[in-house]
Amino acid sequence: MNALRREQVGKQVFSYFLVFLGSVLFAVGDVMFVNPYRLAPGGTYGLANVLNTVWPWRIGFYAICMDIPLLLIGSWILGPKFGLKTILSTILIFGATVILESTWGYDPLIHNGILSDISGCDPYFMQTLVQIQDTNRFFVPDYFLNTLISGAIYGIAIGMIFKSGSTSGGSDIISMIAHKYTKISLGTLTLIVDSCITLTSFIAFKDIRLPIYSILLIVVESKIIDIVIEGFKSYKTAFIITDNIKEVSDFILNDLQRGGTCFTGMGLYHGAERKMIYVTLNRSELVKLEGNLRYMDPNAFINVVESSKIMGLGFKALPEQ
């Protein structure tokens, strides 16, 4: 029991470490990468970036003024489902953002040069420059590289927070409340809310590139979140209909060293009884199966689908309650 207790305590400590590291990393991505380029990739911090540029005030102050009421309203309407880690993450992101704003400022980390004096510059070249907030300096932007790096940092940060068992809170609460009363899917509502926030950058700055790059950032971010949570392994689920069920089953069991499930079904065309194997494999195992299946049964039928999450014996362990 002592060993089990120590393991549980260790997991809890690690989860809070993920909350801390993810929150700080999120603040780094927002202050050093997203804000200088005037991007608004959804969420309260996306809207805070736009407000910070239009009406200069700390990003963290804008965001916390939105996050606290949303947490209170969400707890009132949805119940206390956000938990200590979500509250902690909200506070940590706010604190780290304000500290970075005070120490680092709003200088971009990625750029093609910072200019302190643009007098005498070509007018066309001046149109490509972005002014650094609260200064008389300008920088030459590299939108594409900055967007990719921003998306990766956001993805790693939010992935860590999600992996700890926390949630991002913020504007997601709006989607959850709307979902309760409209029954529209949560994914669709999140997309609508984030898209509206993204469009505020175009309304504020009249630059169509900003919402486009913000959407690209969200796409990169979502992919990185999946990698952080699920890892790099890609699993496929195969449904195999074959008359040579014994040889195919032996190959899966002995050569691939995987288990599976065999079903009996009836073909619609002839009404004949057919055997079908259900098996989940990684990418390399699927290639081996496909390469050998044509020799074991040239008339076999195989349907392969993506498996976003596989848990259980031989794969990822089932989550603890």
Domain assignment present for residue 159? The answer is yes
Domain assignment present for residue 296? The answer is yes
Residue with tokens 């959850």: 176
157, pLDDT greater than 80: yes
Chain centroid to Cα 312, Å, comes to 24
- For residue 248, the domain's CATH number is 3.30.70.120
Given 230, 247, 267, the domain boundary residue is: 230
Domain assignment present for residue 316? The answer is no
Dihedral sign for Cα 105, 59, 91, 194, please: negative
CA-CA distances (angstroms) from residue 70 to 94, 238, 272? 15, 44, 59
Chain centroid to Cα 290, Å, comes to 32
Mean pLDDT value across the chain: 83
Residue 142 shares a structural domain with residue 95: yes
End-to-end, the C-alpha distance of the chain in Å comes to 17
Question: Is the Cβ–Cβ distance between 94 and 62 less than 8 Å?
Answer: no
261, pLDDT greater than 80: yes
Residue 226 shares a structural domain with residue 241: no
Total length of the chain:
321
Q: How much is the average pLDDT of 196-206?
A: 89
pLDDT digits (tens, 9 = 90+) for 112-128: 998 887 877 777 777 78
3, pLDDT greater than 60: yes
| Domain with 20 in it | 2-230
Give the chain's domain count: 2
